[in-house]
A and B are shown apart, each in its own frame.
Chain A
């Protein structure tokens, strides 16, 4: 990976998905989203607005769901970062991932990883959300294909599974 030729280059490490990852000679202007995608081989977080409006780039940073397009990568060296790639075990789908497929919540799929991360975050805090709580928690994630109906169903399916002790 090449770099712009100026003095604003540094090497640093990021704690991503439980592993310390070295970022070498990176331009300090790079967002966490860019570094995850272009330097660390983790393309799951997507860029669709670059200003924190659409949620496609959602990752978990120290137990908070954040838009990785708004985080300077080099400022995140002290944080624990979890991306969609950390979900599920041994390549198997997480309960939320499976619920999105079962409920028809996936069309083009571009918003999907951001939604999956946001839903995990929601259900980890509240496994029994009502419809309005789901909608509010996910109102920072834009989907242009589904109209949100099948995604609402997917969240409810996943929540029910957790309350019934299935999956997760």
Chain B
């Protein structure tokens, strides 16, 4: 284990708050996001989208657009030279809707144009005549289960149906609690809008794409297939990524931009507006979850029954994987081997849904943590006690039959959170900014009720069900300098900083040069599933170790030293026999060493028809306690404090972990009390930052955190991914706190003002 933490940590090495290599550029405004890309002779691209959630596309007449000076290209489905469809799991989503076929959601791409100016593009789209036969949209996923909905796609209306049947199905608990819970459609709302610059090769037989994405190689595979080009003719370079949170896993404008560039022979940039972004990427699945817990009189969970219905919207995206995450996390971080779970992910004419931070577990957690408070009430136990009594431990058998073999400090997460002091009550003369609803004297401090609520969660790390999401890294010593290369998408989380920290720690150097992030090296897998610190961190660590080992071999040979006695300590090579120290910087100029390494996690299995199998790689845990102030008459909520203890394995960069925890909590708060894409009859009603509310500085609570460091033996650096857990259980913690304040059941999130006051 190469991790060292504490005051002895060398600055810039693992365990320290190293400098971000992209930091100066980001604070100075010079960092090149994909929307900042520019090329000589560049055209602008724009996309026409369906105004109907379900319709037959009858005809497209672009003749008037071609007459507008400055318009260079119009492409439709007829111009797609390769596969007409793409998709991460099922290739069911058209690059463009085809005349004669149906459009399946409002916002589905119909065609794209390229012109000399964004305003020319807008005029071109306005001049194109498209005729539709409007069809009745299917918006209730239950209709896809009962069979009353017509098939919306040749691939059918069921993305996946999976049951879990485990243990004793006959157990009837002395205590039973049940509820039906709803989770609204959340948007990732990254700030850096979708944007890409495609530059065609001279001769037009290849293309280079500068793109903000989470997974360069998967993008390339899908783009090349649609373009009908071999993968080596499609080169991707990571454009600066302004946040991701799952919304950049799927193809959006990639193929469109490349098509326009290849057709015109000129560089083309597409930059989405915020409104278009709401239609251009997938969202968090809205879900309806019924759960019944059977428990004994002491509050121990004996059996869980659940039915989960996830609305996947018009196209598959990652719906099957999201569903599996949800159902396999039904039990939460609690002991239970007996379960019956029926899970559905379905196709409707609502917006397509897919990955968002937490990936199915967020929905399941809202249900099981609501249930835990009901169980507490039914048994007379406190919310803390009922959770402690059921807390999962390493070695437990899960409802999938998998044995929990990760470090599982659930009890410690709860106890450490419980030990964090509660905030003082709101003073009667409180600054009105701190009162629910903020300024304007809308809520009176004397009318405020305070509530405390809990949420505890388990989250899987890495991809599941047999998927080998390996990562690749290259490390080389050349001309006396250390270079590291990988295709890992830096989306803001700071992997570029972590990669340098790893190389400094392993190789004993201060300066580490990062090569461009592109497809000129093997895949790194996706920046998702809390996996890159473990997976790409593991790959960088392994590549650096391979280089270090060869360097020590050579130094031993050259200087007549005993290889086994050499190690790197700080920035020196130390010979344990003689105590001799040789500065690494002194010797690396003499060597050219180059290693590329793939890191693979332990293999997993598919679930069988009863939902049994070792489907997950590893797990992380977290507890949240929320304190809220509620005005019960106005329905206003102020989240005062979030206390949290998170199982992180090892802290490799304290400020980065803190930032992930605080940022995840803000997103979970958003889902709890304000963030929802409102869809009526398949139409999104609030595709803007005016109407889709995001937490602001004044909405952010005080966050008091404890990071629990129990190194994970399976993890190459001892660390667990920290990105997703913060936003999983904070949402139910806040909902439970509001329930605690006002005594209502509140079966859905986000909790709206009228859920509280009407």
Looking at the complex, which of B15-23, B165-173, B289-297, B319-327 is the stretch in contact with chain A? B15-23
Among B25, B494, B656, B694, contact of A144 (Cβ-Cβ < 8 Å): B694
Docked-complex contact B26 and A49, CB < 8 angstroms: no
Selected from A85, A136, A145, A150, the residue in CB contact (under 8 A) with B698 is: A136
- In the complex, which residues of chain B have a beta carbon less than 8 angstroms from the beta carbon of A134? 697
Contact status A147-B665, CB under 8 Å: yes
Interface residues as binary, B35-72 with A (CB distance below 8 Å gives 1, 0 otherwise): 11010000000000000000000000000000011100
A34 to B700 Cα, complex, angstroms: 31
User: B193 to chain A: which residues have CB within 8 Å?
Assistant: 47-48
User: B493: CB under 8 A from chain A?
Assistant: yes
User: A43's contact among B27, B29, B662, B697, by CB below 8 Å, is which?
Assistant: B29
Q: Is A7 an interface residue (CB 8 A)?
A: no
With A49-B688, A132-B434, A147-B664: A109-B698 Cβ-Cβ less than 8 Å: no
- CB pair A46–B274 under 8 Å, yes or no, is no
| Contact yes or no, B655 A109, CB < 8 A | no
Choose one: A29, A46, A101, A104; the contact of B191 (CB below 8 Å): A46
For residue A53, which residue of chain B has the nearest CB?
B689
Partner of A111, one of B20, B191, B656, B688: B191
Residues B116 and A139 in contact, CB atoms below 8 Å apart? no
Contact pattern, A 36-58, Cβ under 8 Å of B = 1, otherwise 0: 01100011111111110110100
CB-based contact B665/A101 at 8 Å: no
Which of B239-247, B374-382, B596-604, B676-684 forms part of the interface with chain A? B239-247
In angstroms, Cα B668 to Cα A95, docked, is: 32
CB pair A116–B191 under 8 Å, yes or no, is no
Chain A stretch 40-91: residues in CB contact (< 8 A) with chain B: 42-51, 53-54, 56, 83-85, 87-88
The residue on B at minimum CB distance from A116 is: B27
**In the complex, A147 Cα to B190 Cα: how many Å?**
13
Asked if B273 and A50 make an inter-chain contact with CB atoms under 8 angstroms apart, the answer reads yes
B residues within 8 A CB of A168? none
A20 to B698, CA, bound (A): 38
- B17–A146 touching, CB < 8 Å: no
Contact B70 A104 (CB under 8 A): no
- Flag whether A166 is at the interface (Cβ < 8 A): no
The total of Cβ contacts below 8 Å across the A-B interface reads 195
Q: Is the CB of B491 within 8 A of A139?
A: no
Size of B's binding interface in residues, CB under 8 A? 68
**Least Cβ–Cβ distance between A86 and chain B, in angstroms:** 10
Contact B492 A109 (CB under 8 A): yes
A112-B696 in contact given A4-B70, A106-B20 (Cβ < 8 Å)? no
A141 and B493 CA atoms in complex are apart in Å by 20
Distance of B354 from chain A, by nearest CB (Å):
18
B688 touches A149 (CB 8 A): no
Question: What residue of chain A has the Cβ atom nearest to residue B491's Cβ?
Answer: A108
Given A46-B33, A47-B193, do A97 and B27 touch, yes or no (CB 8 Å)? yes
Q: Does B663 lie within 8 Å of A146, measured CB to CB?
A: yes
B433–A135 touching, CB < 8 Å: yes
Q: From residue B11, how far is it (CB to closest CB) to chain A in Å?
A: 13
| SS of A interface (majority) | loop
Contact A148 B662 (CB under 8 A): yes
Question: Is A148 a contact partner of B700 (Cβ separation < 8 A)?
Answer: yes
Per-residue interface assignment for chain B, residues 433 to 453, with 1 indicating a CB less than 8 Å from any chain A CB and 0 otherwise: 110000000000000000000
Residue B606 CB within 8 A of the other chain: no
> Is residue A11 contacting chain B, with contact meaning CB distance below 8 A?
no
Check if A45 sits within 8 Å of B29, measured CB to CB.
yes
Most buried by B among A101, A104, A150, A151: A104
Contact A104 B35 (CB under 8 A): no
Chain B residues 642-665 with CB under 8 Å of chain A are: 655-656, 658-659, 661-665
Stretch at the interface among B117-125, B152-160, B414-422: B117-125
A138 interfacial contact with B, CB 8 Å: yes
Over the window 132-165 of chain A, the binary record of Cβ atoms lying under 8 Å from chain B Cβ atoms (1 yes, 0 no) is 1011101111111111111110000000000000
A51 touches B688 (CB 8 A): yes
Contact of A149 among B27, B433, B690, B703 (CB under 8 A): B703
- Which B2-35 residues sit within 8 Å CB-CB of chain A? 17, 19-20, 22-33, 35
Asked if A2 meets B689 with Cβ closer than 8 Å, knowing A48-B192, A135-B698, A144-B191, the reply is no
A45 and chain B: residue at smallest CB distance:
B29
Bound Cα distance from A112 to B23, whole angstroms: 10
B431 interface residue per 8 A CB criterion? yes
Instruction: Say if the beta carbon of B544 comes within 8 Å of chain A.
Output: no
Q: Which of chain B's residues have a CB closer than 8 A to the CB of A140? A: 696
A125 at the interface (CB under 8 A from B): no
Q: Point out the residue from A38, A88, A113, A147 that lies within 8 Å of B703, measured CB to CB.
A: A147
Contacting B at CB under 8 A, from A113-141, are 113, 116, 132, 134-136, 138-141
Partner of A109, one of B31, B119, B271, B433: B31
B493 neighbours in A (Cβ, 8 Å): 107
* Complex: A49 Cα to B193 Cα, angstroms: 9
The listed residue (A29, A50, A83, A100) touching B27 by CB distance below 8 A is: A100
* CB-based contact B696/A139 at 8 Å: yes
A149: chain B residues at CB < 8 Å are: 658-659, 662, 700, 703
For the complex of A and B, list the 10 residue pairs with the smallest distance between their C-beta atoms, beginning with the closest.
A44-B29, A108-B492, A109-B26, A110-B242, A104-B655, A2-B116, A147-B662, A147-B666, A53-B689, A84-B29
| Residue ranges of B at the interface with A (Cβ–Cβ < 8 Å) | 17, 19-20, 22-33, 35-36, 38, 68-70, 116-120, 123, 189-193, 240-243, 245, 271, 273-274, 431, 433-434, 491-494, 655-656, 658-659, 661-667, 688-690, 694-698, 700, 703
25 contacts between A and B (CB under 8 A): A2-B70, A4-B116, A4-B117, A4-B120, A27-B117, A43-B30, A45-B29, A46-B33, A47-B193, A48-B191, A85-B28, A88-B28, A104-B656, A108-B492, A112-B26, A132-B433, A136-B697, A139-B696, A139-B697, A142-B689, A144-B663, A147-B659, A147-B663, A147-B695, A148-B700
Besides A51-B690, A109-B27, 10 other CB < 8 A contacts?
A4-B120, A43-B36, A48-B191, A49-B689, A50-B274, A97-B28, A98-B27, A108-B242, A110-B242, A135-B697
